[in-house]
Every structure is written in structure tokens, then in C-alpha cells.
Structure 1
């Protein structure tokens, strides 16, 4: 199979879909790998490293999309990239289709095989999302602490406080991978951390692994509303696989928060868990609503591109090899996680939460393969 890796074009996105180690694996299995010139530079990987691993360097993205049978990316394809796709081509990347009707319809129109990292599921876990959730969770607390500083729009509270002065209160919505890592960093800075989740078993686990300056609270509308009132920072990490994120903080609830408080909405890729959230970029990451600073960067791990690229490709490579070695049909038949990853096929939506998010027809994958 011909594998194509274009340079990411989403603003401030410096990750790349394959490392030289990944290239070497694909070549070892008899595949051809085309890498766009400069695709790895943002992650500190030069073209010469890809060449030594066996890749061919291609100047233009157009040629990559024309020649490749499978495109491996990091972020969801932009409009110009969708326009370059062709029928039957496999797109293997993060898609986040539930909040993005335009992209969904574009992939349907092109009749591509759209395989989303974020819906590949193994034993209830999302192994291709978890490494980036780790990065985003740790980043979330760092960004919250940074923007709490007065010069950057915050209330002027130091996360860990100092002797004789209260530390900041961090409220974390969701105790999954991102929430756990946000709590680790926030507690490590000395903040008072409150983690809310709807799963009592998960809360028991978090109680065991997190330090004593972290408290676990059962999540519901009442407790969320109460906890955010005196929070200095709120970090939203809620995720429903493949679906649009529920809005846990309404505009009315926002008005009860401290002026100068900071919200970091990690779940913005799936629509965000705050009513007033809208995607931002690393170039212009924050905005203010009702006196509350919002940080809603839609590709947070792109800021730490080298770490993120290697963490992501460690997870995506094994599944990518299966798809390339067997073809998507046989791969989906033999491996349920890959079947769950297919969101769009032959112009049909095969991921139920995506179809429901847009009010479009859902077609079970088994009817198409």
C-alpha cells in the first residue's frame, strides 16, 4: 500500500503523523511511504531522517493526496485537504466529526474511508486518544496557572499559594485520562484540587492514586454549580466517545464565577463542555466572557509537538500497520477496535454518535463491508 503523510496545515499544528521509526515499520512490511517535504520539522524531525528510514520526500501535498492509498495525519482534514481526497482513499487521523458537520459532509461527499483515532476502542478504553489526553491534561493545569496571573487577565492567584495564604482552587470536570493528569499537575503545584466525575468506581480509584490535596466529588448539576462558584480555575475534560460533549457549565452558571477565574476547556475538540466555549488557537488562545477567561485551544498537544508526536505515533502505528497489511475491510472484520474507528464509509456515516449529532442517517458498518 502507498502511505502518504502530508504536512499539517491547521494553525500552529507542529505534530506529524509518522516518525522515522514508523516509516521503517511500514517499509519493512512492503509498503511505500511518501512524506511531504518539511512535514516533521515542527517536531524536530528532518527530511533526511525520514529518507534514511526508507521514505520518499514529496514537495507538494497535492501529489501526496493523489498518489497515496492511505493518508496518515494528526488533525482533522481541512477543507483544502478534503478537496484533494479521492473515492476509496483511507484517511487515518483524528476526526472529531460530532461538532463538525461541514467536515462530515465533505468526507461523505468524497466517499473516503474515514478512520478516527478517537473512536478506536479496546476494552472500554481509547488507546489512540489517551496519550494526547495525557498531554492536554498536564497542559491544562499549566495553562490555568499561567493565565491566573494578573498581567494575562487572571485574578492574580498563585496556584500553590505561599505560607499563610490560600492556594488556588482548581475544579476538574471529568476523572478520565485528561482529568487525572490535570489533577496530578495541579496538585503538584500545590493547588487545592476538586475532581468531579459521575463514576463512583473511578472516584475510588482516583482517591487511591492522587495526593491528599485532591478531593473527589460525585458530579451532577448541583455539585458543578456549587463548586465552580469559588473556583479560581475550572478544567473541563469530559468525553463521550465519538459524540458531542454535553454542556455542563451554562452561561447562567458562568455568571456566578469569580471575575478573573480561568476556564480551560480540554473537550473543545468535541464541541466543549461550557456553553460559552469556542475553539481558539495557540496564536490567540484566550478570550473573556462575563469576566471569566476562556482557554479553548483545539489542538493543545501541538504546543509540545515533539513529545506529542512520539507519544501519538507509538499508539497509532500498530493499528495503521494492520490496516495497511490487511486492507480496511479485512482489518475491520478481524479487529473490532478498527471497525469502531470507521466513522464514514462509501458516503455513509457508520458511527452512530456522529449521525445522531447531525441528525443524519446512520448505516451499520456490517452492511457496507
Structure 2
């Protein structure tokens, strides 16, 4: 199969769809891999590294799309790429269709085969291709939140871990999934007081078993959220609905209950966000303030650490990419139920129910 790795063109996105190690595994199986010139530079992988493992370097994004039967990316195609996607072309990437009607309609029109990393689901019901980026984003949520609690960037002026004689900062985490657990680990490691909330008691029991005693679990309800936001310095939204829009757990009126300089980090921004006041931001302009509350809502948080993120992503996507390349998408999805669940749009037809529900396409 002919596989294309274009350069990501989303604002401040430095990740690349595949490492040279991944390309080597494909060329070893006699597949042809086209890599756009300088596509990997932001992640620390250079054209010469790809050439050494048998890739063909193409100068433009147009050529990569034109020559390839399958496109392997990191982020969803943006408007400039819509017209480059061909009928029957496989596009394997993070799509998050439920948060963008324009993207959904463009991919329907393209009549391509859209396989979304974030809806590939294994036998245990986990999302193996979303997990590594959720791990990165969960840890970064605390790293970034701690930074924006500083006074020069309009935060409360809180050091999360405190110092002897001074109470540590308080972190509230909504959701005890991969993002929430990783955020809790980081916050606890800094010495912060951490409360993690969920409606799934099994997850809360797991958190209670694996995290330190100063990480407190709480059952999530609107009432309990309203009480806790009054006293917490950093609030992380990490709630996931598979393939669908995130629920709005913090409404605009709740911001007035928070102390000035409170920081909210919405890791669910790719799926519409779990705060009513969420709007996507970029690494170039990451924050905005509403009612004296600092919002950090960067839609591609792992893009800030591209070396770590690209390797972590290729580690999990490569087995699926090899199946698609070796067998073709139809046979691969028929034989692998996990991959079959990744199918979102096929030749103009939406085949993932949550997307239909998001935009009333039925």
C-alpha cells in the first residue's frame, strides 16, 4: 500500500503521524511510505532519518495526498486539507467529529474512509489509541495549571505544593478516567491537595487503591461540584464520552462562585469541552479570562511535547496501521473488531452513531 505522512498544519502542532521506526516496519513489508519534507522536524525526526528507513520524501502536502492510498496523521484535517482528500482514500487520525460539523460534512463530501483513533476500542472497552495522548494531556494539565496559577498571568498566586508552614494548593479533577488519574498523580506528586470526582464508583475505588492517601475521591453531582469549586484553586475537566460531546459539568453561572484567579483546564476541549465557557485556544494564545477565572483550553495539548507524544502515539497506532496496509481497510476491519469501531465515515456515510446524534443527521 502507498501510505502518506503529511506535515501537520494546525496551529503550533509539531507532532508527526509516524516515527522513522514506524516507517521502517512498513517499508520492511514492502509498503511505500511518502513523508512530506520536514514533517518530522518539530518532533526531532529529520528527512534523513526517514530516508534511511526507506521512505520517499515529497516536497509538498498536495503530493503526499495525491500519491497515497492511506493518510496517517495526528490531528483532524483542517479546511486547507479538505479538498486534498480523495474518494476511497483511508484517513487514519484523531477526528473528534462530534465537536465539528464543518469537518463532518467535509469528510462526508470527500467519500473517503475515515478511521478515528479516538473510537478504536479494545475488548475491555478501553480506547488504546487515545490512552497515550490522554496520559500526556492529564499530566500536562497540572503542569500548565500550576504555571497559570502564578500572579503575573492573572492566577491566584498559588504554589501548588505549598512550602513548610503554608497550606498547599487545592486541585479538583472532574473524571477518574485516564486523564483524571494522570492529572491526580502529577498533582499529588507536587504535594497538592487533590479531589477527584466521578459517577463511576468502580473508578473511584481504583483511584483510592492506587493513589496516595492525600488524593480524596468524591461522587460527582451538580451539588457537590458547586460546593467544591468555591475552595479549589485549579479545576481540571477530564470527562470523556466515547465519540460524542462532553457533558457541561461547569456552567457559566458557576464561575461567579470561584475565587478570582482560579484556573480551569479543559482537557475535553476536543469534544466540545466540559465547561460551558470553553472555547478552543492554541499554544500561541492559550488562555482567556471570564469572570476573573483563567481558562486554559488548548485543543492539542500534547503538541507542546511532540517528541514524547509522537513516540507514544506510534507505539500504539503502528499495529493497526500495519493491519490496514497489509489487508486493506475492509478486511482489516472485518477481522479486527477494535479497528472496526474506529470507522466513523465510510464513502459518504456516517457509520458511528454518536456523530449522527451530535448533528441530527438521521
What band does the TM-score fall into relative to the shorter chain?
over 0.9
> For residues 169 and 112 of structure 1, what CA distance do their matches in structure 2 show?
47
2:12 counterpart residue number: 12
2:137 counterpart residue number: 136
Q: What are the superposed Cα offsets for residues 27-74 of structure 1, whole Å, 9 maximum, x if unpaired?
A: 111210000000000000010000011100000000111110000000
1:2 counterpart residue number: 2
1:199 counterpart residue number: 200
> What is the CA distance between 1:324 and its match in structure 2?
1.0
2:335 counterpart residue number: 334
Q: Tell me the TM-score normalized by structure 1.
A: 0.97
Residue 235 of structure 2: SS of its match in structure 1? strand
1:119 counterpart residue number: 119
2:45 counterpart residue number: 45
1:366 counterpart residue number: none
Residue 114 of structure 2: SS of its match in structure 1? strand
Q: What are the superposed Cα offsets for residues 107-142 of structure 1, whole Å, 9 maximum, x if unpaired?
A: 000000000000000021000000000100000001
Residue 91 of structure 1: SS of its match in structure 2? strand
> For residues 21 and 141 of structure 1, what CA distance do their matches in structure 2 show?
31
1:278 aligns with 2:268: no
Residue 114 of structure 1: SS of its match in structure 2? strand
> For residues 256 and 330 of structure 2, what CA distance do their matches in structure 1 show?
50
> What is the CA distance between 1:218 and its match in structure 2?
0.7
> For residues 329 and 227 of structure 2, what CA distance do their matches in structure 1 show?
48
1:208 counterpart residue number: 209
> What is the CA distance between 1:223 and its match in structure 2?
1.1
> For residues 227 and 140 of structure 1, what CA distance do their matches in structure 2 show?
19
> For residues 193 and 135 of structure 1, what CA distance do their matches in structure 2 show?
19
Q: How does 1:18-167 map to 2 (within 5 A)?
A: 18-122=18-122, 123-167=124-168
> For residues 86 and 145 of structure 1, what CA distance do their matches in structure 2 show?
44
Residue 181 of structure 2: SS of its match in structure 1? helix
> For residues 4 and 94 of structure 1, what CA distance do their matches in structure 2 show?
16
Q: How many residues of Structure 1 are paired with residues of Structure 2 in the alignment?
A: 361
Q: Tell me the TM-score normalized by structure 2.
A: 0.99
> For residues 54 and 177 of structure 1, what CA distance do their matches in structure 2 show?
36
> What is the CA distance between 1:162 and its match in structure 2?
1.3
> What is the CA distance between 1:332 and its match in structure 2?
1.1
> What is the CA distance between 1:165 and its match in structure 2?
1.4
Structure 2: runs of 5+ lacking an equivalent: none
> For residues 194 and 348 of structure 1, what CA distance do their matches in structure 2 show?
42
Structure 1: runs of 5+ lacking an equivalent: 362-369
Q: What are the superposed Cα offsets for residues 154-173 of structure 1, whole Å, 9 maximum, x if unpaired?
A: 01111011112111110000
1:353 counterpart residue number: 354
Q: What are the superposed Cα offsets for residues 180-223 of structure 1, whole Å, 9 maximum, x if unpaired?
A: 11001101111100000111011111001111211000111111
> For residues 157 and 104 of structure 1, what CA distance do their matches in structure 2 show?
42
Could you say what the CA RMSD is over the residues aligned between the two structures, in angstroms? 0.6
Runs ≥4 residues deviating over 4 A: none
Residue 302 of structure 2: SS of its match in structure 1? helix
